[in-house]
Structure 1
Amino acid sequence: MPVLNEVDYLQRAVETVLAQEVDGPAELILALAPSTDGTDELARRLAATHDSVVLVDNPEADIPVGLNLAIRAGRYPTIVRVDAHSELEPDYTRRAIGTLDRMRAANVGGVMRADGRSPFQRAVARAYNSPIGLGGGAYHGGTQEGEAESAYLGVMRRSVLDEVGLFDESIRRGEDWELNLRIRRAGYRVWFDPALSVTYWPRESWSRLVRQFSATGRWRGELVRRFGRGNSLRFFAPPLLVVDVLLAIVVGLLQVTGVLTGWWSAAASVVYLPIVAYVLLIVAVSIGSGGGHGWRDKLWTAAVLPTMHLSWGWGFVVGLVRGAHDTVDTSRLGSRNTPLP
């Protein structure tokens, strides 16, 4: 578990891991980046209370670096990746290991079930859980068990990781997708089991949501640069929307200034149609059952969905054109400007 500035979530996350029942010994390794909110002190108290909690330092504060440090410190043949912003269902690990053996898979993942504590966070959670919000990936609400492109978090065989290599430390977002690509290319199976469920707590504020999705989108663009069409086509919908919005702004300015007139203006106005269709889709989703209960929930949903799509899409366009370079997710910055997992 990579950890940084998670004082409001860490204890519950650790408790749900320690409550897992497995056949044989287990340990929880926390890769601690430098925190500014008391997380390190909380982690040390938890380690002092529970012999199975092990701490390793992650001074670089990067997720893949922290994951690799924790994996290398581990002693057992099965790796269960967990997140400080999540909570495991009571039988998650036992069921996942059973599926790992039953399907002879190298990595098994389940469903990310987002939840929220505030009206904004609950709106983000609804977007996460909706096929409209994040593109309909299996772990955002899939119901059919089967082979998968990637796995949320993941329960992995250590022997396979040793063979294909650990997480690529040059990739700061989307590192799980890239690792699963190597696993699949090596001839191993990545498996989705909808019976597995993890509660995930999304970002709590608008600015943090924008920063998270912008960084994630930029790294997805970088992955497309590196691996081409190995990415799902669903990733291209938000950047196409962003490009269309930019084109619509240019066309609008040319029409207002009189540069575009007559038939040329009418033909160029076709760029508005996808935007109108998108707005109608957001309205339909927001006023429907997926928008929550009551007009406040529905307004939050109508605001959050475009925020996620446009910030992710803009990040993707920038990443595709310029690459990600040293882009980090700054959505959980501490006072020392340290990026969080």
Structure 2
Amino acid sequence: MSNRGLVSIIVPCRDEERFLAACLDSIIANDYPKDKLEVFVVDGESRDASVVIAESYARRYPFIRVLQNPGKTAPAGLNRGLRCAEGDIVMRMDVHVSYPPHYISTLVDWLNRTGAGNVGGICITRPANDSAIARAIAIALAHPFGVGNSYFRIGTSEPRWVDTVPFGCYRSEVFRQVGLFDEELVRNQDDEFNLRLIKHGLGILLVPDVASYYYARESLSRLWRMYFQYGYFKPLVARKIGGVLTVRQLIPAAFASSLIVTGLPAAWFFPAAIASGLIILAYTLAIIACAARVVPRHGCKPALALAVVFPVLHLSYGFGYLKGIMDFLVFRNKSPTNAIKVPLSR
């Protein structure tokens, strides 16, 4: 591996004292030559001990540096790191994730072998703790009923060209070619950037022989907030790129819309009440079928918790998407509302 070039790793961080050390330990344990690494922990004015932890690692490992991100958001942190990066290859690595020892070298090999614009691996979702809700959240985020055909979440048995991957691995030259991350997009900035890559003829490759381990949010409130934000920023992405990236992003919004359209007049219009009931019944039966298949592997409590987790996941995204349509497509707001400007971590 001595002939491999310098890799710049950018780790956006804010209020992540619980996960930061494990993330950095997994990066340090990678088999890529340490004299060919530079790691930037870009801190968005953390209010906890994240900076203290990051600086303690920087003192022990000369290839780790701590940068300040006054913009606080993920795209601002990524761009701050990109402006300091000197590597021929740039990787985004998020704090809520741990990485296997071959992660960096394998993605670099695939990038060099294929000439792709971005290469990423599958993302295996793990619960934040052992509670039934946390375990159910992890199950839902890796289930086709929860996330559709998002292959990096549900897995793939062979390399495939996709619309996005997590924690991308890029040649640094692509940022000179297509620009930096869009700082208006608190969420979904990687989706929008990847579409710019595709429009420039640079493919996005998902490879199955490398996986990262993502620790999901532990509570329903945190899940709701995160996926509301994901849905909210999708219409802004669509406005910027001139179209919808994938059909799967429309389904939660369609579901939420159907509940509104049939539910509001249901009290006085009997056909609307029937339609609303049928929609809810079909959705409930789908959840029951999914939960039944989960029981043998995960047990009854997480399976029962899916009855709450799936609706929170789908409705938060769906209602966020509808609000985004109103803000960005109907009223043509130029930037997100202040209420949506929230932390940067996944």
After superposition, the Cα gap between the structure-2 partners of 1:139 and 1:275, relative to the gap in structure 1 and judged at 3 Å, is same
Structure-1 separation of matches of 2:337 and 2:210: 32
Cα distance change on mapping 1:231 and 1:252 into 2, 3 Å: same
**Which residue of the partner structure matches residue 18 of structure 1?**
28
1:292 deviates by 5.2
- Given candidates 256, 277, 280, the residue that maps to 1:242 is 256
Are 2:122 and 2:153, in contact at CA under 8 Å, matched by a contact in 1? yes
Q: What corresponds to 1:4 in structure 2?
A: 14
- After TM superposition, the structure 1 = structure 2 runs for residues 190-201 of structure 1, keeping only pairs within 5 Å, are 190-201=204-215
**Which segment is superposed worse, 22-31 or 282-291?**
282-291
Of 9-18 and 31-40, deviating more is: 31-40
Alpha-carbon distance in structure 1 between the residues aligned to 2:15 and 2:148: 29
- Picking from 80, 87, 94, the partner of 1:83 is 94
> 2: distance between equivalents of 1:25 and 1:43?
20
- Is the alpha carbon distance of 1:14 and 1:329 closer, same or farther for their aligned partners in structure 2, counting shifts above 3 Å? farther
For residue 274 of structure 1, what is the aligned residue in structure 2?
Answer: 279
Q: Do residues 55 (structure 1) and 71 (structure 2) align?
A: no
| Cα deviation, residue 104, structure 1 | 1.3
- Separation in structure 1 between the aligned mates of residue 342 and residue 263 of structure 2, nearest angstrom: 36
Contact kept? 1:215, 1:327, Cα under 8 Å:
no
Structure 1: which 5+ residue stretches go unaligned? Answer: 255-259, 331-336
Residues 253 and 228 (structure 1), Cα distance of their counterparts in 2 relative to 1, 3 Å cut: farther
Contact 1:147-1:189 within 8 A present in 2 as well: yes
* Rounded Cα–Cα distance in structure 2 between residues aligned with 1:41 and 1:174: 29
**Counterpart code for 2:343:** P
Letter in 1 for 2:125: A
Structure 2 residue 207 is matched with structure 1 residue 207: no
Call closer, same or farther: CA 1:299–1:107 in 2, change over 3 Å.
Answer: same
Whole-Å separation in 2 of the counterparts to 1:162 and 1:38: 34
Larger displacement relative to structure 2 (242-251 or 38-47): 242-251
User: Is 1:319 paired with 2:330?
Assistant: no
Q: 2:179 aligns with which of 152, 155, 165?
A: 165
Letter in 2 for 1:100: L
Report matched runs for 1:285-300 at 5 Å: 285-289=290-294, 293-300=298-305
Is the counterpart of residue 174 in structure 1 residue 184 in structure 2? no
Measured in 2, the distance between the counterparts of 1:209 and 1:308 equals 7
In the TM superposition, residue 118 of structure 1 has moved relative to its aligned partner by: 2.6
Q: SS at 2:243's partner residue? A: helix
Following TM superposition, by how much is the alpha carbon of 1:156 offset from its aligned partner in structure 2, in angstroms? 0.5
TM-score (norm 1): 0.90
Alignment of 1:37-52 (within 5 A): 37-52=48-63
Distance 1:253 1:197 in 2: 49
Give, as a single letter, the amino acid of the residue that structure 1 aligns with 2:120.
G
Q: Indicate whether 1:28 and 2:32 are aligned.
A: no
Give RMSD over aligned pairs.
2.0
User: Structure 1 residues 134, 267: closer, same or farther in 2, change over 3 A?
Assistant: closer
Matched, 1:130 2:143: yes
Q: What is the identity, as a one-letter code, of the residue corresponding to 1:10?
A: L
Give the gaps of 5 or more residues in structure 2.
Answer: 1-10
The match for 2:130 is 118
TM-score, L = length of structure 2: 0.89
Partner of 1:334: none
Task: Give the C-alpha shift of residue 267 in structure 1.
Answer: 6.9
Contact preservation (8 Å) 2:15, 2:49: yes
Q: Partner amino acid for 2:65?
A: V
**Native 8 Å contact 2:39 2:63 kept in 1:** yes
Give distance in 2, aligned partners of 1:238 and 1:45.
43
Instruction: Show structure 1 runs of 4+ deviating over 6 A.
Output: none
Matched, 1:154 2:164: no
Q: Give 3-state SS (helix, strand or coil) of 2:55's partner.
A: helix
- Deviation of 1:328 after TM superposition, in Å, equals 7.3
Q: In the aligned structure 1, how far is the partner of 2:313 from the partner of 2:297? A: 17
Q: State the distance in 2 between where 1:215 and 1:151 align.
A: 18
Classify 1:279/1:5 alpha carbon distance in 2 versus 1 (closer, same or farther; 3 Å).
Answer: same
Looking at structure 2, the residues matched to 90 and 96 of structure 1 have their Cα atoms a distance apart, in angstroms, of 12
Classify the secondary structure of the residue corresponding to 1:54. Answer: strand
CA contact (8 A) 1:62 1:172 kept: yes
Decide whether the 8 Å contact of 1:225 with 1:320 is kept in 2.
Answer: no
Is the Cα contact below 8 Å between 1:130 and 1:136 reproduced in 2? Answer: no
Q: Which residue of 2 aligns with 1:218?
A: 232
Count matched residues.
Answer: 326
CA offsets 1:164-195 (integer angstroms, 9 cap, x no match): 11111122111001111111111112111011
Query: How high is the sequence identity, in percent, across the aligned residues?
Result: 28
Report SS of the residue matched to 1:192: strand
